[in-house]
Structure 1
Protein backbone atom coordinates (compact mmCIF):
# COMPACT_ATOMS: atom_id res chain seq x y z
CA UNK A 1 0.00 0.00 0.00
CA UNK A 2 1.16 3.52 -0.74
CA UNK A 3 -0.37 6.86 0.20
CA UNK A 4 -0.08 9.22 -2.75
CA UNK A 5 -0.94 12.88 -2.91
CA UNK A 6 -3.26 14.03 -5.66
CA UNK A 7 -0.50 14.88 -8.13
CA UNK A 8 1.34 11.57 -7.60
CA UNK A 9 -1.91 9.57 -7.76
CA UNK A 10 -3.19 11.19 -10.96
CA UNK A 11 0.20 11.13 -12.75
CA UNK A 12 0.84 7.51 -11.85
CA UNK A 13 -2.71 6.56 -12.87
CA UNK A 14 -2.40 8.38 -16.21
CA UNK A 15 0.74 6.38 -17.09
CA UNK A 16 -0.58 3.01 -15.88
CA UNK A 17 -2.09 0.69 -18.50
CA UNK A 18 -2.90 -1.89 -15.83
CA UNK A 19 -4.99 0.33 -13.54
CA UNK A 20 -8.37 0.05 -11.85
CA UNK A 21 -9.97 2.93 -9.91
CA UNK A 22 -12.06 1.94 -6.90
CA UNK A 23 -14.35 4.27 -4.94
CA UNK A 24 -14.93 2.77 -1.47
CA UNK A 25 -17.65 5.24 -0.41
CA UNK A 26 -21.34 4.53 0.19
CA UNK A 27 -23.95 4.46 -2.57
CA UNK A 28 -25.23 7.91 -1.54
CA UNK A 29 -21.72 9.40 -1.58
CA UNK A 30 -20.98 7.81 -4.96
CA UNK A 31 -24.16 9.29 -6.45
CA UNK A 32 -23.00 12.79 -5.41
CA UNK A 33 -20.08 12.48 -7.82
CA UNK A 34 -17.14 10.22 -8.62
CA UNK A 35 -13.84 10.16 -10.47
CA UNK A 36 -14.35 9.01 -14.10
CA UNK A 37 -13.80 5.29 -14.60
CA UNK A 38 -14.29 4.41 -10.94
CA UNK A 39 -15.95 1.22 -9.78
CA UNK A 40 -17.70 1.46 -6.44
CA UNK A 41 -17.18 -1.12 -3.70
CA UNK A 42 -18.59 0.18 -0.38
CA UNK A 43 -16.16 -0.64 2.42
CA UNK A 44 -18.90 -0.17 5.03
CA UNK A 45 -20.51 -3.33 3.60
CA UNK A 46 -17.68 -5.44 5.01
CA UNK A 47 -18.68 -8.91 3.83
CA UNK A 48 -19.46 -7.76 0.29
CA UNK A 49 -16.27 -5.69 0.14
CA UNK A 50 -14.14 -8.66 1.18
CA UNK A 51 -15.93 -10.98 -1.26
CA UNK A 52 -15.35 -8.58 -4.16
CA UNK A 53 -11.78 -7.87 -3.06
CA UNK A 54 -10.97 -11.58 -3.30
CA UNK A 55 -12.35 -11.60 -6.88
CA UNK A 56 -10.00 -8.81 -8.04
CA UNK A 57 -7.07 -9.61 -10.34
CA UNK A 58 -4.03 -9.50 -8.02
CA UNK A 59 -1.78 -8.48 -10.93
CA UNK A 60 -3.58 -5.19 -11.59
CA UNK A 61 -2.80 -1.84 -9.94
CA UNK A 62 -5.63 -0.46 -7.82
CA UNK A 63 -6.15 3.24 -7.16
CA UNK A 64 -8.52 3.75 -4.24
CA UNK A 65 -10.24 6.80 -2.84
CA UNK A 66 -12.99 7.75 -0.42
CA UNK A 67 -14.19 11.07 0.99
CA UNK A 68 -11.02 12.06 2.85
CA UNK A 69 -8.53 9.17 2.54
CA UNK A 70 -9.22 7.19 5.73
CA UNK A 71 -11.52 4.45 4.48
CA UNK A 72 -9.53 4.01 1.27
CA UNK A 73 -6.37 3.56 3.34
CA UNK A 74 -8.08 0.74 5.25
CA UNK A 75 -9.32 -0.70 1.96
CA UNK A 76 -5.78 -0.73 0.55
CA UNK A 77 -4.61 -2.76 3.54
CA UNK A 78 -7.51 -5.18 3.07
CA UNK A 79 -6.62 -5.62 -0.61
CA UNK A 80 -3.01 -6.31 0.37
CA UNK A 81 -4.24 -8.93 2.86
CA UNK A 82 -6.05 -10.86 0.09
CA UNK A 83 -3.05 -10.88 -2.24
CA UNK A 84 -3.32 -7.63 -4.19
CA UNK A 85 0.23 -6.31 -4.41
CA UNK A 86 -0.32 -2.77 -5.70
CA UNK A 87 -2.94 -0.63 -3.94
CA UNK A 88 -2.60 3.15 -3.94
CA UNK A 89 -4.52 5.42 -1.57
CA UNK A 90 -5.48 8.96 -2.59
CA UNK A 91 -4.49 11.15 0.39
CA UNK A 92 -7.22 13.70 1.09
CA UNK A 93 -9.76 11.70 -0.89
CA UNK A 94 -12.28 13.17 -3.29
CA UNK A 95 -12.61 16.26 -1.05
CA UNK A 96 -9.20 17.43 -2.27
CA UNK A 97 -9.51 16.06 -5.82
CA UNK A 98 -8.84 18.74 -8.44
CA UNK A 99 -9.58 16.61 -11.50
CA UNK A 100 -12.80 15.76 -13.30
CA UNK A 101 -15.80 14.48 -11.33
CA UNK A 102 -18.89 12.87 -12.86
CA UNK A 103 -22.13 13.88 -11.15
Structure 2
Protein backbone atom coordinates (compact mmCIF):
# COMPACT_ATOMS: atom_id res chain seq x y z
CA UNK A 1 0.00 0.00 0.00
CA UNK A 2 1.37 3.40 -0.88
CA UNK A 3 0.64 6.59 0.96
CA UNK A 4 0.90 10.21 -0.04
CA UNK A 5 2.52 12.45 2.53
CA UNK A 6 3.04 15.64 0.52
CA UNK A 7 0.74 18.63 0.56
CA UNK A 8 -1.45 19.24 -2.45
CA UNK A 9 -0.77 22.63 -4.05
CA UNK A 10 -3.87 24.80 -3.81
CA UNK A 11 -3.78 25.71 -7.50
CA UNK A 12 -3.85 22.07 -8.55
CA UNK A 13 -6.70 21.07 -6.25
CA UNK A 14 -9.65 19.63 -8.14
CA UNK A 15 -12.67 18.82 -5.97
CA UNK A 16 -14.37 15.55 -6.67
CA UNK A 17 -17.97 14.60 -6.29
CA UNK A 18 -21.02 16.12 -7.89
CA UNK A 19 -19.17 19.26 -9.09
CA UNK A 20 -18.81 19.90 -12.79
CA UNK A 21 -22.43 18.70 -13.35
CA UNK A 22 -24.01 21.74 -11.68
CA UNK A 23 -23.94 25.33 -12.86
CA UNK A 24 -22.81 28.05 -10.47
CA UNK A 25 -26.42 29.28 -10.34
CA UNK A 26 -27.49 25.82 -9.10
CA UNK A 27 -24.70 25.62 -6.50
CA UNK A 28 -25.54 29.09 -5.16
CA UNK A 29 -29.27 28.26 -5.09
CA UNK A 30 -28.59 25.12 -3.05
CA UNK A 31 -26.48 27.03 -0.52
CA UNK A 32 -29.26 29.65 -0.30
CA UNK A 33 -27.28 32.23 1.69
CA UNK A 34 -27.74 35.89 0.75
CA UNK A 35 -26.04 38.25 3.20
CA UNK A 36 -27.28 41.83 3.27
CA UNK A 37 -25.43 43.99 0.75
CA UNK A 38 -24.22 41.19 -1.53
CA UNK A 39 -24.05 42.18 -5.20
CA UNK A 40 -22.45 39.05 -6.70
CA UNK A 41 -21.21 35.54 -5.97
CA UNK A 42 -18.26 33.75 -7.59
CA UNK A 43 -16.56 30.44 -6.95
CA UNK A 44 -12.94 29.51 -6.33
CA UNK A 45 -11.20 26.38 -7.67
CA UNK A 46 -11.65 24.59 -4.33
CA UNK A 47 -15.45 25.04 -4.42
CA UNK A 48 -15.60 27.99 -2.03
CA UNK A 49 -18.31 30.53 -2.85
CA UNK A 50 -17.21 34.14 -2.41
CA UNK A 51 -19.86 36.79 -1.78
CA UNK A 52 -19.00 40.35 -2.86
CA UNK A 53 -20.36 43.84 -2.22
CA UNK A 54 -18.43 45.51 -5.05
CA UNK A 55 -20.39 46.82 -8.05
CA UNK A 56 -21.49 43.91 -10.23
CA UNK A 57 -19.58 45.20 -13.27
CA UNK A 58 -16.36 45.29 -11.26
CA UNK A 59 -16.86 41.70 -10.06
CA UNK A 60 -17.59 40.59 -13.64
CA UNK A 61 -14.40 42.19 -14.94
CA UNK A 62 -12.42 40.60 -12.10
CA UNK A 63 -13.89 37.16 -12.91
CA UNK A 64 -12.70 37.50 -16.52
CA UNK A 65 -9.21 38.59 -15.40
CA UNK A 66 -8.94 35.85 -12.78
CA UNK A 67 -9.83 32.97 -15.10
CA UNK A 68 -8.91 29.85 -13.13
CA UNK A 69 -6.98 31.95 -10.60
CA UNK A 70 -8.16 33.39 -7.32
CA UNK A 71 -10.71 36.19 -7.31
CA UNK A 72 -9.19 37.43 -4.06
CA UNK A 73 -5.92 38.11 -5.88
CA UNK A 74 -7.72 40.16 -8.52
CA UNK A 75 -10.52 41.91 -6.63
CA UNK A 76 -9.03 41.93 -3.15
CA UNK A 77 -10.50 41.03 0.20
CA UNK A 78 -11.98 44.45 0.93
CA UNK A 79 -15.10 43.61 -1.11
CA UNK A 80 -15.57 40.05 0.18
CA UNK A 81 -18.39 39.96 2.73
CA UNK A 82 -19.08 36.22 3.12
CA UNK A 83 -18.00 32.78 1.98
CA UNK A 84 -19.63 29.36 1.97
CA UNK A 85 -19.38 25.83 0.61
CA UNK A 86 -22.20 23.66 -0.67
CA UNK A 87 -20.53 20.77 1.16
CA UNK A 88 -17.32 21.53 3.01
CA UNK A 89 -16.46 17.82 3.40
CA UNK A 90 -16.95 17.08 -0.30
CA UNK A 91 -16.50 20.37 -2.18
CA UNK A 92 -18.65 20.89 -5.23
CA UNK A 93 -17.28 22.97 -8.07
CA UNK A 94 -19.64 24.26 -10.76
CA UNK A 95 -18.83 23.52 -14.39
CA UNK A 96 -18.90 27.25 -15.20
CA UNK A 97 -17.07 28.52 -12.09
CA UNK A 98 -14.26 30.18 -14.10
CA UNK A 99 -16.60 32.48 -16.04
CA UNK A 100 -19.90 32.82 -14.15
CA UNK A 101 -20.95 35.57 -11.74
CA UNK A 102 -24.27 35.10 -9.94
CA UNK A 103 -26.46 37.97 -8.79
CA UNK A 104 -28.86 37.87 -5.84
CA UNK A 105 -32.50 37.10 -6.53
CA UNK A 106 -34.88 40.04 -6.78
CA UNK A 107 -37.01 40.13 -3.68
CA UNK A 108 -40.63 41.17 -3.86
CA UNK A 109 -41.46 44.30 -1.86
TM-score > 0.5 by shorter chain: no
Larger Rg computed on CA atoms: 2
TM-score range, shorter chain: 0.3 to 0.5
Structure with more of its chain in helix, by fraction = 1
